[in-house]
Amino acid sequence: MNQLVEISRNLLATCLGVKETEELVIVTDEDKRPLAEALYAAGKLLGAETMLLVMQEREKSGQEPPQTIAEAMKQADVAVCITKYSLTHTQARKNAAANGTRVATMPGITEDMFTAGAISADYQEVKRLTETVTDILTKGKQVRIEKGGYTLEFSIETRNGVPSTGMYLEAGQSGNLPSGEAYIAPVEGSANGQILVDGSIGGIGKIDAPLLLTVKDGRLVDAEGPMAARLLSTLGDGDGRMLAEFGIGTNHKARIIGVVLEDEKAFGTIHVAFGSNATFGGTIQAGVHIDLIVNEPDVYIDGVPLQEKGRFLFAAQ
C-alpha cells in the first residue's frame, strides 16, 4: 500500500495540482475501493480536505452516479472518479467541470496500471502530441479510416477536438488518468462504411478475433464476430448504437491490456465509440458509451494522410 500511496501522491500533485486546504472528492465503488483508499490517503498527505464517497457499482459506462455524488463532485475543487465503469461521459462529470472542478476519471484501473504502462509516461510529451492532434481534428471536416480492406467515413465539420492530456491543473479541466488521446464527436448521421475492430472493447476486454462493424447513416446496423451479440446487447436498440466518438491514442507508454482506460491511449491505435457524446460536443444522450480499439489503421483527414498503420505522418510524433 505504501507504494500505491506514494504513486497516488505524485499523481495528485503532478497531474491535478492538488493543494493544501483544497477539497478533494474521491468517488469509487466496492470494486475499486482498495485503490481509491490509496488516493484518499495520498490526498490527506498533501493536506487536502479529502472525502471518500463509495457508491453502488454502475451497470455500464456512461451511467450517471447518484445525485448526491454528482453534487459533491460539482462543489469540490478536485474530483477523482475511480470506478469499475466510466463516469467520463456523464452529465455529472460535465457539470462538475463546468462549475470549475478539476476532474480525473480512472475507470477500470488496476494495480498494475498504477505501477506501469500509461501512468509512467512523460506527460509533458503526451500533452504536446495530444494538443497537436487535437488541433488537426478541430480544423478537419472529413475523416476516413482504412483497415483490412474496410473503410469508414464520417464528418467532423463544425466539431471541436478534445485533448485528454493527463494534466488538469486549471479550473474546469477534466479527462482520464492515465491519459493521452485526442478525440472528437462525429456529426450525427454522417458515418457510413465498415470498420474492423481488432484491439479491445470497453467492458469486454481484449478480443481474440476481429469484430466487423457496419455503420449506415451514423448508426451501427450490423456486427460480425464472436463478441457481436454481447456488444449489441450492451448498446441496446436505441441511440446507444449511434456513432459517438472518434479518438486517437497519443501515449507511447500505454499498452493493449484489455482495460479500455489504457487501451484507447495506446500509441498506434484509434478508437470509435457508440452511445452518448453530449458531454463533448455531440447531441446523443444514450446512457451508455462503449469504446472499441483498432490497431495500426490508416487515417485520412480531408483526404490527407494523418496516420499510416498507426504511425503519425508529421514531425510531432
d(CA 94, CA 91): 5
Q: Do the beta carbons of residue 202 and residue 260 sit within 8 Å?
A: yes
List, in order, residues 6 or more apart from 314 with CB less than 8 Å away: 132, 306
d(CA 81, CA 77): 13
List, in order, residues 6 or more apart from 154 with CB less than 8 Å away: 142, 143, 186, 187, 190, 191, 192, 218, 243, 246
Sign of CA dihedral 106, 100, 173, 279: positive
- pLDDT tens-place values along the chain, 317 residues long: 688 999 999 999 999 999 999 999 999 999 999 999 999 999 999 999 999 999 999 999 999 999 999 999 999 999 999 999 999 999 999 999 999 999 999 999 999 998 888 988 888 899 999 999 999 999 999 999 999 999 999 999 999 999 999 999 999 999 999 999 999 999 999 999 999 999 999 999 999 999 999 999 999 999 999 999 999 999 999 999 999 999 999 999 999 999 999 999 999 999 999 999 999 999 999 999 999 999 999 999 999 999 999 999 985 44
3-17 per-position pLDDT tens digit? 899 999 999 999 999
pLDDT value at residue 1: 60
Question: Which DSSP string corresponds to 119-166?
Answer: GGS-HHHHHHHHHHHHHHHHH--EEEEEETTEEEEEE-TTPPPEEE-S
pLDDT value at residue 317: 44
> Which one-letter amino acid corresponds to residue 257?
I
Q: What is the pTM of this model?
A: 0.86
49-87 per-position pLDDT tens digit? 999 999 999 999 999 999 999 999 999 999 999 999 999
pLDDT value at residue 66: 98
Q: What are the cell numbers at 162?
A: 478534445
Q: Do the beta carbons of residue 157 and residue 187 sit within 8 Å?
A: yes
The kind and range of the H/E element at 250 are none
d(CA 239, CA 284): 7
Structural domains in the chain plus CATH codes = 2-115 (3.40.1830.10), 120-312 (no CATH)
Phi-psi region of 205 (alpha: psi -120 to 50; beta: other; left: phi over 0): left
d(CA 240, CA 139): 27
pLDDT value at residue 117: 87
List, in order, residues 6 or more apart from 9 with CB less than 8 Å away: 42, 45, 46
d(CA 170, CA 196): 38
147 phi and psi angles, rounded to 5 deg: -160, 125
Q: Do the beta carbons of residue 115 and residue 93 sit within 8 Å?
A: no
Sign of CA dihedral 278, 252, 199, 155: positive
